[in-house]
Structure 1
Amino acid sequence: MYVITKKPELNRVIRSLSVAMAALLAAGCSTAGQDGGSATGASGTGPITFATGRDTTAYLQPLLDRWNQAHPAEKVTLLELPEVADEQRAQIAANLQAHSNRYDVLGLDVVWTAEFADNGWIIPLERGLFPLDKFLPPVVDTAIYQDKLWAVPYTSNAGLLYYRTDLVKKPPRTWAELRQQALAITKKHDIEGYAGQFLAYEGLTVNFSEAVQSAGGQILSPDGSTVTLDPAKAAIALDFLKQGLREKWIPEEALDYKEEESRLAFQEGRLAFARNWPHAYGPARVRLGDKVAVTRLPGLNGPGSSALGGSNLAISAFSKHQHTAQEFIRYFTSLENERRVLTEGSFPPVWTELYDDPELIERFPYLPVLKESILAAKPRAAGANYNQLSLVIASTVAKALKPQSSESADDVAASLKAELEEIIKTQ
Structure 2
Amino acid sequence: MFRPFAVALAVLAAAGCAAAGETGGGEPGTGGTGPITFATGRDTTAYLQPLLDRWNQAHPAEKVTLLELPEAADEQRAQMVANLQARSSRYDVLGLDVVLTAEFAENGWIIPLERGYFPLDKFLPPVVDTAVYKDKLWAVPYTSNAGLLYYRTDLVKKPPRTWAELRAQAQEITEKHDIEGYAGQFLAYEGLTVNFSEAVQSAGGQILGPDGDEVTLDTAKAATALGFLQQGLREGWIPEESLNYKEEESRLAFQEGRLAFARNWPHAYGPARSRLGEKMAVTRLPGLDGPGSSSLGGSNLAISAYSRHQHTAREFIRYFTSLENERRVLTEGSFPPVWAELYDDPELIKRFPYLPVLKESILAAKPRAASANYNQLSLVIASSVAKALNPPFKDTADDVAASLKAELEEIIRTQ
TM-score range, shorter chain: over 0.9
State the 4+ residue runs in structure 1 displaced beyond 6 angstroms.
none
**Distance in 2 between the 1:245 and 1:121 partners?**
43
Query: Aligned partner of 2:204: which letter?
Result: G
Residue 237 in 1 paired to residue 222 in 2? no
* Deviation by residue 1:138-172 (Cα, 9 ceiling, x = unmatched): 11111111221110000111111000111111000
| Structure-2 residue corresponding to 1:126 | 114
Within 5 Å, which residues of 2 pair with 1:29-44? 29=14, 30=16, 32=18, 34-36=20-22, 40-44=28-32
Q: Per the alignment, in what secondary structure is the counterpart of residue 283 of structure 1?
A: helix
The separation in 2 between residues aligned to 1:47 and 1:248, in whole angstroms, is 57
Contact 1:199 1:257 in 2 (8 A): yes
Say yes or no: does 1:26 pair with 2:37: no
The 5 A counterparts of 1:262-341 are 262-341=250-329
Match of 2:46 among 54, 58, 61: 58
3-state DSSP of counterpart to 1:273: strand
Secondary structure of the residue that 1:312 maps to in structure 2? strand
Partner SS, residue 379 of structure 1: coil
1:86/1:202 contact within 8 Å kept: no
Deviations 1:395-416 (A, max 9, x none): 1111111113411111100000
Q: Which residue does 2:406 correspond to in 1?
A: 418
Deviation at 1:83, TM superposition (A): 2.0
- C-alpha distance after superposition, 1:365-418 (max 9, x if no partner): 111111111111111121211111111001111111111341111110000000
Structure 2 Cα separation of the partners of residues 334 and 25 of structure 1: 32
Amino acid at match of 1:26: V
CA distance in structure 2 between the partners assigned to 1:132 and 1:39 by the alignment: 29
CA contact (8 A) 2:21 2:90 kept: no
Q: Give the gaps of 5 or more residues in structure 2.
A: none
Distance 1:39-1:154 versus aligned 2 partners, 3 A rule: farther
Aligned partners of 1:48 and 1:324 also within 8 Å: yes
User: Do structure 1's residue 160 and structure 2's residue 135 form an aligned pair?
Assistant: no
Measured in 2, the distance between the counterparts of 1:349 and 1:175 equals 29
Instruction: Give 3-state SS (helix, strand or coil) of 2:357's partner.
Output: helix
Matches within 5 A, 1:84-233: 84-233=72-221
C-alpha distance in structure 1 between counterparts of 2:239 and 2:54, whole Å: 46
Over the residues paired in the alignment, what is the CA RMSD in angstroms?
Answer: 1.8
DSSP 3-state at the match of 1:177: helix
Kept in 1, the 8 Å contact 2:18–2:83? The answer is no
State the SS of the aligned residue for 2:263.
Answer: strand
**Could you tell me which amino acid in structure 2 is paired with residue 258 of structure 1?**
K
Report SS of the residue matched to 2:13: coil
Equivalent of 2:244 in 232, 245, 256: 256
In the alignment, what sits opposite 2:334? 346
Using the alignment, how far apart are the partners of 2:20 and 2:394 within structure 1?
55
Shift of residue 72, structure 1, vs aligned partner: 2.3
SS in 2 for 1:112: helix
Query: Separation in 2 of the partners of 1:406 and 1:278?
Result: 35
Q: C-alpha distance in 2, partners of 1:215/1:313? A: 32
AA matched with 1:226:
E
Counterpart residue identity of residue 28, structure 1: A
Deviation at 1:87, TM superposition (A): 2.1
Which segments of 5 or more consecutive residues in structure 1 lack a partner in the other structure?
2-18
CA-CA distance at 1:190 after TM superposition:
1.3
* Pairs aligned (count): 409
Whole-angstrom CA distance in 1 between matches of 2:117 and 2:63:
21
Q: Secondary structure at the match of 1:26?
A: helix
Larger deviation, residues 397-406 vs 309-318: 397-406
- Is 2:349 the partner of 1:361? yes
Q: Cα 1:166–1:266, aligned 2, differ >3 Å: closer, same or farther?
A: same
Q: The residue matched to 2:307 in structure 1 has which SS? A: coil
Aligned with 1:286: secondary structure?
helix
If the length of structure 2 is used for normalisation, what is the TM-score? Answer: 0.95
In structure 2, distance between residues paired with 1:311 and 1:347: 10
1:46 aligned to 2:34? yes
Match of 1:83, SS? Answer: coil
Residue 384 (structure 2) pairs with residue 396 (structure 1): yes
3-state SS, counterpart of residue 141 of structure 2: strand
